[in-house]
């Protein structure tokens, strides 16, 4: 597992969120998939006014965040300079120490994130000497609109705020 501890400065994100708790989703991945899907909610398209199926939509390129606030909600977000629309919700990632777990290139988010979360919470965290600080979990997606570039170069991270046990 590719992991490192990082010191994150307070980071303001802009995006759209949906509640998870009490909404009838069988698992968290169902909410995530619905929000990212062009056929359903297409939240990324609402943030940047682009589409993943348009390889010229370079506004879709770059870093995207999926913010889990425990089991309360999920937000798809970007930093301000990467947003192309107004009236977005804001969320501030708190400053602090995060355990950052990284995947290899080319995997599928819907396979990689559940695997990473399982490894983090069932293996790494219990034996690490750290505990999760709060309920926040950040998915970091490095993506491109061009399908060939995305298929070959995309990669993902999960950041968990931690503190020593």
* Domain extent listing, the chain: 2-164
Q: Is 29 exposed, middle or buried (0-12, 13-18, 19+ CB in 10 A)?
A: middle
Which residues lie closer than 8 Å to 116 by C-beta, 6 or more apart?
101, 103, 156, 158
Quote the percentage of the chain above a pLDDT of 70.
99
Residue-wise pLDDT for 106-124, tens only, equals 888 989 999 999 999 999 9
Residue 145 pLDDT greater than 90, yes or no? no
Q: For residues 100 and 36, is the Cβ–Cβ distance under 8 A? A: no
Examine the pLDDT at 21 and tell me if it is beyond 80.
no
Task: Determine the Cα–Cα distance for residues 44 and 65; give it in Å rounded to an integer.
Answer: 10
Q: Given a cut of 80, is residue 90 above it in pLDDT?
A: yes
pTM assigned to the model: 0.91
Which residue has better confidence, 26 or 32? 32
Q: Which two tokens stand for residue 74?
A: 């999920």
Q: CATH fold of 2-164, please?
A: Multidrug-efflux Transporter 1 Regulator Bmrr; Chain A (3.20.80)
Phi and psi torsions of 129, nearest 5°: 90, 5
């Amino acid at each position: 597992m590719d992991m490192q501890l990082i010191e994150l400065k307070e980071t303001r994100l802009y995006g759209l969120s949906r509640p998870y708790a009490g909404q009838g989703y069988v698992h968290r991945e169902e909410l995530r998939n619905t929000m990212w899907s062009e056929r359903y909610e297409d939240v990324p398209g609402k943030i940047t006014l682009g589409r993943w199926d348009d390889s010229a939509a370079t506004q879709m390129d770059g870093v995207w965040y999926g913010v889990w606030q425990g089991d309360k909600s999920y937000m798809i977000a970007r930093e301000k300079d990467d947003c192309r629309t107004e009236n977005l919700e804001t969320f501030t990632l708190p400053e602090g120490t995060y355990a950052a777990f990284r995947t290899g290139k080319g995997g599928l988010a819907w396979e990689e994130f559940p695997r990473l979360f399982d490894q983090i919470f069932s293996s790494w965290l219990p034996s690490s000497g750290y505990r999760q600080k709060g309920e926040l979990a950040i998915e970091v997606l490095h993506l491109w609109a061009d399908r060939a570039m995305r298929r070959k170069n995309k990669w993902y991270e999960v950041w968990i705020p931690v503190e020593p046990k």
